[in-house]
Structure 1
């Protein structure tokens, strides 16, 4: 293990125990402030385990840190949820993106304003990890991206203490490497103001993906922090069923304003979903499954499900219906699983491959019956039709799980109460 480590580079690395078993992933580093003029001491790492629980790993337990992984030595782990103490800071959450001033060596020349990109720690003679270096991007009026350089810790002003000038670019760059669910989990750990600031700085698509993974109260607070036009743009990027669920948490007047600001073709399926009774197939279905007409070729069908923006459960099968192919469709004919598509010649048409032996759901079908039928037939999605057998959408297994689990299942705080 080297004597200097840059902490932002550890973010997302897997953590292994001495047996090679994976413990979790690094999410941050904990810095303890000291009462003297001595630089802060890095006392441990924050690791995220299964079920989104974050625990503290004392730095003394770490035997190796490199570009590939963090490895722990022998000993037991305290599995209590990590909570930051009064004299502690988190490197990524509290220090990254801070605007600081760097004093030139020997007090020669002007001070330089910049933004923190990374924090470097070194092992001292007492085997303590101490903050010694700060990577800074200099603010420049001449270029969009200023010069990057390293400064000694004692030359940096404004790194420690209250600040109203903390940006978001570098934290977002780190978070952007995560899956939406992990990014949503990371945002829950930020103070409310910082969380809302970071969320607002995401592009519309990324923010929509993250909102879908957050508890409802966080969704509402973040959406309320956006101007209404931006909020409507983000709702347009969400899956219609998720957008409908989020809008249902808002006052009726606010719902109407946001729906009116959305593009009519994007708002229409959301309005329809909001009309169904909660807890039914109509209320939880997605109105945008992969729908094909029977004359579509297998090659065309496979091209459709290769779309990287489709979730795995939506791409697992295609639904075949008479034109029009947008919901509500013409007469529903059946479904074709992607494995069947892989086994057929590319020129075959999907109309000859449909599985029509499973009765579709009705909009009023309840969650219990949906769950039982999906389990009976080992399905990850089921079609939903109206009384005239037009396809309206599909209920996917993630829809069922999302609405069957406790209402606060995404809220990590609710599930950490009483944890040992």
Structure 2
């Protein structure tokens, strides 16, 4: 949605029709989801509760809201039709706030909320801006007066003592995934489970990827099956595959059955490869382009904020289909090369013909030397039929080379030993282990 300097009072959104960019009606706005944040930051408007036909209500993130007009709200992208469920850290504007009695900073008399406004910040988040109040001049007075105040003047939006889980969630809101994982690690199992249930799917998925494996398994098993499947869908497919492989076959199959078919298929495909191979380390969702795509298209794709820096370091040119496993792999293009070329140049004319792709069976020791030889942060994985299966990133290589318990040591604040950081020694250990252990058949995964 384009940025705006003016506030939008949310009462005008209630019951507005929600349209897609083609002009077709999808549903009706029923509420707005907001979340309190710490450190004096304005509460964030997370998204809309939209009622589809047959009174089925779903969540639409604010990033999908394309335009807000007087008579309708227009959204873009794919609509997730999973039924909306409010998290403990969230409040609903119309359900929880409108007509709620609140305390105003510096005043002793009660006030009631009758409207709330939002505005778009520089970060492109939508935040609570002002609150319209109806206040009585006395317990027996008939006259009331209306006033508009800043969000920070209202107690319900300010994190304070005694807010329990909501306070913790507000503090976690602006943390990086690794820091959230550390906070979860330091909690008791019961408290960790409680907070995990209240976190949104994406945040929990990012934090899970940073936790030691035993705590990943503990948390995912503590969730209801539907919720656990949703969280796995938000994880990187290679991390989700590693986690599912640690579960019992019965639990793993139950979760995979509840996942979206495409997401489950990616995880199942990755589980076919050994854990310490290029196939087991790769992600099946790199940036894939057609031969007739231009440099401008490629740069637009790598600017996607959901891509990690490593994954955005290289694009892959393939024949159709453009989802892994693709059609014939034509080559890779480094992002630095894209930055040096005119926007209209075809990416197929820029492929690095000297870069031989990895095979899915390549062991991590081979992969690490490959990365060092070619100074890479990302590399293609291609099968015998020259189909692109995915891409390995340098962070996944490092993760595989470090000792199994490195995440736990990091959480506990232990100083890394020489063995933890001597990559040559660890690679030698892996090679010796590989020499002593025959290759596993396809379909098996190495134990940790």
Which category describes the TM-score, using the shorter chain as reference length? 0.5 to 0.7
Q: Give the counterpart of 1:307 among 300, 304, 307.
A: 304
Q: Which of 382, 385, 404 lines up with 2:382 in the alignment?
A: 385
Is the contact between residue 409 and residue 415 of structure 1 (CA under 8 Å) also seen in structure 2? Answer: no
Instruction: Specify whether residues 418 and 352 from structure 1 end up closer, same or farther in structure 2 by C-alpha distance, changes over 3 A only.
Output: closer
- Alignment gaps of 5+ in structure 1: 1-7, 12-144, 160-165
TM-superposition CA deviations, 1:162-211 (whole Å, max 9, x none): xxxx7422211211211111111121111221111112211111111111
Q: 1:333 to 1:413 in 2, by over 3 A?
A: closer
Partner residue in 1 for 2:178 = 181
CA distance in 1, matches of 2:338, 2:412: 41
TM-score (norm 2): 0.57
SS in 2 for 1:336: strand
In structure 1, what is the Cα distance between the partners aligned to 2:414 and 2:332? 44
| Partner in structure 2 of residue 340 of structure 1 | 337
**In structure 1, C-alpha distance between the alignment counterparts of 2:414 and 2:324, rounded to whole Å:** 43
Q: Give the equivalent residue in structure 2 for 1:83.
A: none
Q: Matched residue of 2:310: which SS? A: helix
- Given that residues 282 and 363 in structure 1 are in contact (C-alpha distance below 8 angstroms), is that contact kept between their aligned partners in structure 2? yes
User: Aligned pair 1:221/2:190, yes or no?
Assistant: no
Given candidates 261, 264, 271, the residue that maps to 2:261 is 264
Secondary structure of the corresponding residue to residue 171 of structure 1: helix
> Is 1:370 matched with 2:377?
no
What does residue range 131-150 of structure 1 map to in structure 2 within 5 Å?
A: 148=155
Cα offset, 1:329, TM superposition: 0.6
Specify which of 192, 197, 217 is matched with residue 200 of structure 1. Answer: 197
Task: Please give the alpha-carbon distance, in whole angstroms, between the structure 2 residues aligned to 1:417 and 1:281.
Answer: 30
Say whether residues 1:407 and 2:404 are aligned partners. yes
1:278 is displaced (CA, Å) by 2.3
- Cα distance in 2, alignment partners of residues 200 and 146 from structure 1: 30
Whether the aligned pair in 2 keeps the contact of 1:204 and 1:237 (CA below 8 Å) is yes
2:243 equivalent among 209, 226, 246: 246
Query: Hey, what's the Cα distance between the residues in 2 that align with 1:382 and 1:416?
Result: 32
Q: Are the aligned partners of 2:185 and 2:411 in contact in 1 as well (CA < 8 Å)?
A: no
Q: State the alpha-carbon separation in 1 of the partners of residues 393 and 230 from structure 2.
A: 25
Q: Kindly report the root-mean-square deviation, in angstroms, between the aligned alpha carbons of the 2 structures.
A: 2.6
Deviation by residue 1:21-47 (Cα, 9 ceiling, x = unmatched): xxxxxxxxxxxxxxxxxxxxxxxxxxx
Decide whether the 8 Å contact of 1:208 with 1:234 is kept in 2: yes
By how many angstroms is 1:412 displaced? 3.4
1:170 aligns with 2:174: no
CA, structure 1 residues 299+418, in 2 after alignment: closer, same or farther (shift >3 Å)?
closer
Q: Is the 8 A contact 2:182 2:411 kept in 1?
A: no
- Paired with 2:183 and 2:357, the residues of 1 have a C-alpha distance of 39
Shift in CA distance, 220/345, structure 1 to aligned 2, threshold 3 Å:
same
Q: Distance in 2 between matches of 1:306 and 1:417?
A: 36
Look up the SS of the partner of 1:372 in the other structure.
Answer: helix
2:50 corresponds in structure 1 to none
Which residue of 1 is the match for residue 70 of structure 2? none
- Once the two structures are TM-superposed, the CA of residue 337 in structure 1 deviates from its matched residue by 1.1
How far the C-alpha of 1:233 sits from its partner, in A, is 0.6
What is the rounded CA distance, in whole Å, between the counterparts of 1:326 and 1:232 in structure 2?
Answer: 22
Give distance in 1, aligned partners of 2:412 and 2:193.
23
Answer yes or no: is the 8 Å Cα contact 2:284–2:391 preserved in 1.
yes
Give the unaligned 5+ runs of structure 2.
Answer: 1-37, 42-151, 418-448
Q: Secondary structure at the match of 2:178?
A: helix
